[in-house]
Structure 1
Amino acid sequence: MENFTIWSLMIDLSIISGLLLVGTILRAKVKWIQALFLPASMIAGFIGLAFGPSGFGILPFSNQFSAYPGLLIAVIFAAIPIGAAKVHLSEVFHRVRNMFSYSMILTLSMWGIGVLFALLILNPIFSDLPSGFGLVLGAGFLGGHGTAAAIGEGLAHAGWKEAMDLAMTSATVGILIAVLGGLFLIKHSTEKGKTKFITNFKNLPTELKSGLMPKSKRFYMGQETVSSSSIDPLVLHLAIIAFVIGVSYWITNSLSDLIPSVSVPLFSVAFVLGLLFQAISRRIKSDEYIDQRVMERIGGTATDFLVAFGIASINITVVIDYALPLLFLFAFGTIWAYVLFHFVGPNIFKDFWLEKSIFGWGWSTGTVAMGLALLRIVDPELKSRTPEDYALAYIGVAPVDIIIVTFAPILFGLGFTWVIPLVLLLGAAVIIAIYKSAGWWGQSKHENTPS
């Protein structure tokens, strides 16, 4: 086995960066890639997969390049709370109750139903499947490559080493389903007259197709909160993230030594420390020097590299070994996503149910970015206020999502996999029951205008 050095890291970054540049050019120039909304990071990952160790073996990645997603997901989670604006949850919930409830139902049911389907159907048929196989559905479809990396790392610590490859495959397939299925649903809904803002792909802004922003629509990535005579503003923000990750790594190792039977994921500790860092910053009045946009860009950078590395490092042999149960799981997940789109969306949302449900389809099978891309087709001017509502609703959904991603692999490792679908599906059922008892269920059938 080759020794991993600082130059091994540099070569890996150089290769994947070159592939990201190629992906950006292809997205900007190739029409069929634009039609699929494929992000540059995903294109880079496919090229890396084809020409890397799992393909033709031309690209000289190091023997550690499959480990990068586990670190990058910690960067993403650490960046989420740091620099975030202070909000009052009661006010947020009152305003975006329906979006919050819909997002919770999607989150709880997609995670829960995947595990339940695997336990009831797949595990009896394929007796050698791990009991946590169904987690692969939620890991990829619901959370994209970031959550896939998190779940993959957690399940690997719990003893299922192939989980990362399967989760990354799930995320990749999920994005394709999000786009292809979403475009079909939009076309069908438009023909049926269900859309409020009738449009099609040809009417989309150029930047959504090519990925290149015209000068008139460009904006700043963030503000310089400190003088470069002291420290470069970007270095300040990177230093905060690096410090949080380093302390998180130390805590994770310490916990592993204290409780060997339980493995706490690095990204979960990083998120908690990020929250703590933000709370301390607010208390000492230094949070004004942390720019949220810069932190978002750091998280976005980590996400692009994670997607590229994640796809490029997929072990094709492992995927082939699990091909048939994966096919059944993905097919079932697609059907379930349609059930949520067709039956839950119209009954939860009071206004613009189609537009908001199309967005939900995108992020419940692929990523939030895919949901936004689909939304811009049916709501070009974003009059439904879906992104704004989702951003506020996610404040309440995020902790639940992180709890699931953190503790589901632990429950799997301890042999309590059945607890996962029972608790999650019960939670989704409770939300629906509350809506029905309060008379909120089926509102779109009575009113389709903004409230």
Structure 2
Amino acid sequence: MSPNMIGFSFVMIGIFLIFGKFVRRHVKWLRNLFLPSSIIAGFIALLLGPDALGRLTSQFLNEGNYFYNGLVPEFILEVWRPLPGMFINIVFAALFLGKAVPSLKKIWNTAGPQIIMGQAVSWGQYVVGLLLTIFVLTPVFGMSPLAGALIEISFVGGHGTAAGLAGTFDTLGFAEGADLALGLATIGILVGVMVGIIIINIAYRKGTAKYVGGEAAFTDEEREQLGESYGFDMEPTVKEAKAIEPLAFHFSLIAVAITIGYIMQQGLILLEAYTWGAWTDVYLFPYMPLFPLAMIGGMLIQLFFDKMNFHMYIDQNLISKISGFALDILLVSALATLSLDVIGDNVIPFVLISIVAIVWNVFAFLYLGPRMIPDNWFERGLGDFGQATGMTATGLLLMKVADPKHQTPALEGFGYKQILFEPFVGGGLVTAASLPLIYQFGPVVFLIISVIITALFLIFGLVHFGPNKKKKQNKSLNH
């Protein structure tokens, strides 16, 4: 493949992104769902590719015709297919760069209940997913046991994580898992917004949602910001550092973070090969993707800059722009190369996984939320529900609807929560390791581990924060 063809493939991503932006601005229901332009662009490219339009054009054109497979030639798809696995490293390497890291005490005091709640919901997704796989998907439909991790990868991890794990799915013999994960991530976003809005309206009529008011409506600018936002502000009260270095410097920091992650990855592979791997013939790290380690690399760089008092040299705005660019490329290329045949061939398992995930997330929010979050459980739990069902931006927009004037600690707690959440689940180390763990030890072993960890988080949340809620209520009654 010539360099010109590779370059033209990236030009086409830009064209589809502009097209997606145009469609989003002129189709109101897409704006109301807060779908990012990149996701819309990816689906447009998918519809114009071989799995949709190509099925029609192939009936009338010769195989040698340029448009035989639709409006997206095969050579473009060949360039796009490996992009998600590459660009996910940039996204995760930038995750903690340029963000002030508060003390663990402050994080815990502000976001403790949301941290425990988020972990319980995420580990619970493994539990329900593995139960469904062990008792239904594998024996009835012959699906790989790796399907047990699809809910957590897709609903909490989202499109980026699902696309980034495509190589791991393929290596472990479940290549169709990546396409299913992307489809499930899309279902998660749609359900997260629609079900969240419905719950808010019902709660408002019942008096549970106390802070919904006239200012909950979004301006056009806010719709754009939320719809195109994937990240979060871990320290809402800290002002952004002024940029004093060019874009190339910040990209270099991300490159160093990825390099640190790669060195760590290769070191772990070698360590495993000469120690427990050689003794037990069980190998995990060769199947583990690079991006969670790149995230750790970014954290180490940020800690170093903080320690040396150089943190002002990292401009979070520039880091966010690089990360956003990488995520747009990732989403368009991943969705455009999604196989509709895979979803069609597994439509019943796809629907079953979606239903189980939705039921668990709604149950966790409405039943566990008021029992694990001692104050403002509805507003704070909405952020966790949105993130567990769709993506971070879904949680942000639901909190804005329920608490437009920020009268509760929901937004601040949600931001702090990510510091002790993202490194592990929702695309972190646990998410990346879940597939190799299930592959090596089997779904039953990982189910037992998930049940134990879920139970520990649930018990801690119910015991530690439940009494706090009762104490606060009793104190208010006494006064």
TM-score of the superposed pair, with normalisation by structure 2: 0.82
Structure 1: unaligned runs, 5 residues or longer: 214-219, 227-232
1:307 alignment counterpart: 331
Tell me how far 1:441 sits from its aligned partner: 5.6
Tell me how far 1:390 sits from its aligned partner: 1.3
1:172 alignment counterpart: 186
Contact 1:108 1:424 in 2 (8 A): yes
Tell me how far 1:53 sits from its aligned partner: 3.2
Deviation per CA, 1:396-442: give whole Å up to 9, x if none: 12222222122111112314332333222322211222244346269
| Counterpart-to-counterpart distance in 2, 1:449 and 1:294 | 47
Q: Which of 286, 293, 296 does residue 317 from structure 2 map onto?
A: 293
Cα 1:347/1:298, change in 2 over 3 Å? same
Q: What amino acid sits opposite 1:368 in the alignment?
A: T
Q: What amino acid sits opposite 1:242 in the alignment?
A: A
> Superposition pairs for residues 209-358 of structure 1, below 5 Å?
209-210=223-224, 223-226=242-245, 233-246=246-259, 248-249=261-262, 252=265, 259=273, 261=283, 262-358=286-382
Residue 429 in structure 1 maps to residue 455 in structure 2: yes
Question: Secondary structure of the equivalent of 1:342?
Answer: helix
Q: What amino acid sits opposite 2:191 in the alignment?
A: I
Q: Which of 85, 105, 115 does residue 70 from structure 1 map onto?
A: 85
Cα 1:347/1:442, change in 2 over 3 Å? farther
Question: Secondary structure of the equivalent of 1:23?
Answer: helix
| Counterpart-to-counterpart distance in 1, 2:96 and 2:356 | 34
Contact 1:221 1:297 in 2 (8 A): no
* Aligned residue-pair number: 434
| Counterpart-to-counterpart distance in 1, 2:124 and 2:444 | 14
Question: Secondary structure of the equivalent of 1:96?
Answer: helix
Q: What amino acid sits opposite 1:116 in the alignment?
A: L
Residue 82 in structure 1 maps to residue 79 in structure 2: no
Cα 1:112/1:445, change in 2 over 3 Å? farther
Q: What amino acid sits opposite 2:134 in the alignment?
A: L
| Counterpart-to-counterpart distance in 2, 1:439 and 1:383 | 21
Question: Secondary structure of the equivalent of 2:145?
Answer: coil
Cα 1:18/1:346, change in 2 over 3 Å? same
Cα 1:361/1:284, change in 2 over 3 Å? closer
Q: What amino acid sits opposite 2:206 in the alignment?
A: K
Deviation per CA, 1:338-382: give whole Å up to 9, x if none: 101110111122222222222222111100101111222121122
Cα 1:327/1:441, change in 2 over 3 Å? farther
- Which is further off, 113-122 or 167-176? 113-122
1:32 alignment counterpart: 29
Q: What amino acid sits opposite 1:145 in the alignment?
A: H
Question: Secondary structure of the equivalent of 1:406?
Answer: helix
Deviation per CA, 1:158-183: give whole Å up to 9, x if none: 23222211111111111111112112
1:217 alignment counterpart: none
> Superposition pairs for residues 116-135 of structure 1, below 5 Å?
116-126=131-141, 128-135=142-149
Cα 1:442/1:188, change in 2 over 3 Å? farther
Cα 1:11/1:444, change in 2 over 3 Å? farther
Cα 1:377/1:444, change in 2 over 3 Å? farther
Cα 1:400/1:256, change in 2 over 3 Å? closer
Question: Secondary structure of the equivalent of 1:418?
Answer: helix
Tell me how far 1:293 sits from its aligned partner: 3.0
> Superposition pairs for residues 71-220 of structure 1, below 5 Å?
71-126=86-141, 128-199=142-213, 203-210=217-224
Q: What amino acid sits opposite 2:148 in the alignment?
A: G
Contact 2:17 2:41 in 1 (8 A): yes
2:230 alignment counterpart: none
Question: Secondary structure of the equivalent of 1:399?
Answer: coil
Contact 1:348 1:442 in 2 (8 A): no
Cα 1:244/1:96, change in 2 over 3 Å? closer
Deviation per CA, 1:205-243: give whole Å up to 9, x if none: 332335599xxxxxx9863223xxxxxx21100122234
Structure 2: unaligned runs, 5 residues or longer: 54-69, 228-238, 278-282
Q: What amino acid sits opposite 1:16 in the alignment?
A: I
| Counterpart-to-counterpart distance in 2, 1:201 and 1:179 | 19
TM-score of the superposed pair, with normalisation by structure 1: 0.87
Contact 1:79 1:296 in 2 (8 A): yes
Question: Secondary structure of the equivalent of 2:51?
Answer: coil
Q: What amino acid sits opposite 1:339 in the alignment?
A: F
| Counterpart-to-counterpart distance in 1, 2:342 and 2:12 | 24
Tell me how far 1:312 sits from its aligned partner: 1.4
| Counterpart-to-counterpart distance in 1, 2:295 and 2:171 | 18
| Counterpart-to-counterpart distance in 1, 2:216 and 2:210 | 17
Question: Secondary structure of the equivalent of 1:223?
Answer: coil
Deviation per CA, 1:117-160: give whole Å up to 9, x if none: 2223322222x210110211111111211221233332223232
Percent identity for Structure 1 against Structure 2: 26
Q: Which of 49, 54, 69 does residue 52 from structure 1 map onto?
A: 49
1:409 alignment counterpart: 435
1:229 alignment counterpart: none
| Counterpart-to-counterpart distance in 2, 1:9 and 1:212 | 32
> Superposition pairs for residues 350-429 of structure 1, below 5 Å?
350-401=374-425, 402-429=428-455
Q: What amino acid sits opposite 1:65 in the alignment?
A: W
Contact 2:98 2:314 in 1 (8 A): yes
Tell me how far 1:284 sits from its aligned partner: 4.6
1:7 alignment counterpart: 4
| Counterpart-to-counterpart distance in 2, 1:104 and 1:403 | 13
- Which is further off, 409-418 or 257-266? 257-266
Tell me how far 1:330 sits from its aligned partner: 0.5
| Counterpart-to-counterpart distance in 2, 1:344 and 1:151 | 30
